[in-house]
Amino acid sequence: MGRGEVVLSAARRTTLPRTWLGPGALTDPAALARLEGADGLLLPVGPVATGSRRSSDARTRVHGSGVGGVDHDDAPALTVEVAGARLTWAATAGHRVCLAVRGAAPEELAAPLQQLLRHPDGGVMGAVEVDLRGRDEQTVLRATARVREAAGRTLPVLVKVLAVDPQLVAVARSAVAGGASAVVVSGQVPLGGGRWWTGPSNAATTRAGLRSLCSAAAEQRWPGTFLVAAGGIHSATTVRAALSDGADGVQVGTALWADPTQLPVLRTAAEAAPPPSSPRPTTDRRTA
């Protein structure tokens, strides 16, 4: 088991990292790779979307900022061709990546993954993240199952959902039923029109979502799985708080917009936490 990894399945000895880098955290994976504390992390490539026309780097548009966060667009989608070039760069530089996919229908999510798995450097993929924020439970089930089919049995599939979703437990249950290896609990607040509120103020939302899922698992309303906290992860204190509320790992995103030097601090806090089998302040959802 590598640095900062947690065993997900004892039967298959599957491991997942404690620290993840969010798609759109920085547009250039080479820039991320140069950050202190990035060594060994899966570098995000994407989001990749079928039909995207983006052929060069473009920054995420920020509409404004306020106390506790920023109002911004979704990260611009990449073409499959640009993503393929990034896989080649990663292979040449000795890195592994997490491919992020975005789409409106299950096939739109699976198609770029299938194409990139067939790429000569597709072997650098260490995981795939599926953006299903705001989708209903049936859509999450079908989309996750289709991506799992495309990914095969061993490639970890992470499904990102919204902590503020009133049906959070139901969509998380659908993600696991569809074959997700982990659920990413995003504390982002949707503003409409593809815009989001993201920043330190999201920490409370993320933690509330984690507690809801852990309570539901304890009540056997869903089977539970590896949980990644995303949103409001901006300090060692927020990392420790998310882990105490049931997260197994954290995803760092806009914190790197504000201060890229925080990465080693956040990663150290995540990896210093006790393993999931150790006692926690909250009810542990794992019973086996």
H or E stretch at 106: helix 106-117
Q: What pLDDT is stored for residue 154 in this prediction?
A: 95
Closest by CA to 269, choosing from 14, 26, 22, 37, is 37
Give dist(CA 288, CA 267) in Å, integer.
Answer: 28
pLDDT number for residue 4: 63
Question: What crossing angle do the helices spanning 168-177 and 137-151 adopt, rounded to 10°?
Answer: 30
Please indicate, yes or no, if residue 71 is contained in any of the structural domains: no
Neighbours of 81 (CB within 10 A): 12
Q: Say if 57 falls within a structural domain.
A: no
Q: Torsion angle, CA of 22/28/29/33, rounded to 10 degrees?
A: -100
Q: Please report, in tens digits, the pLDDT of each residue of the chain (288 residues total).
A: 455 665 554 333 458 999 999 987 677 888 889 999 999 999 999 999 876 555 555 677 777 777 787 777 778 889 999 999 999 999 999 999 999 999 999 999 999 999 999 999 999 999 999 999 999 999 999 999 999 999 999 999 999 999 999 999 999 999 999 999 999 999 988 888 888 778 888 899 999 999 999 999 999 999 999 999 999 999 999 999 999 999 999 999 888 888 899 999 999 999 998 765 433 433 333 333
Residue 54 lies in a domain: no
Q: Given this model, what pLDDT does residue 5 score?
A: 63
What's the half-sphere exposure (Cβ side, CA atoms, 13 Å) at 195? 13
pLDDT of residue 157: 98
Question: Checking DSSP bridges between strand 97-102 and strand 125-131, what pairing results, if any?
Answer: parallel
In a domain, 286, yes or no: no
DSSP state for residue 35 in the 8-state scheme: S
Do 216 and 178 form a contact (C-beta atoms < 8 A)? no
Count of domains for the chain: 1
User: What is the structure's pLDDT at 156?
Assistant: 97
Q: Which domain holds residue 114?
A: 5-48+76-271
Q: Are 6 and 249 in contact (CB under 8 A)?
A: yes
pLDDT value at position 195?
86
* H-helix segments, 152-235: 168-177, 203-218
- pLDDT score at 52: 53
Residue 277 lies in a domain: no
pLDDT at 3: 59
Sign of CA dihedral 13, 148, 30, 187: negative
> Residue 117: inside a domain, yes or no?
yes
Rounded Cα gap, residues 228 and 186, in angstroms: 8
- The confidence score (pLDDT) of residue 278 equals 38
Q: Is 32 domain-assigned?
A: yes
In a domain, 96, yes or no: yes
CATH of the domain at 224: 3.20.20.70
CA distance linking residue 15 with residue 89, whole number of Å: 25
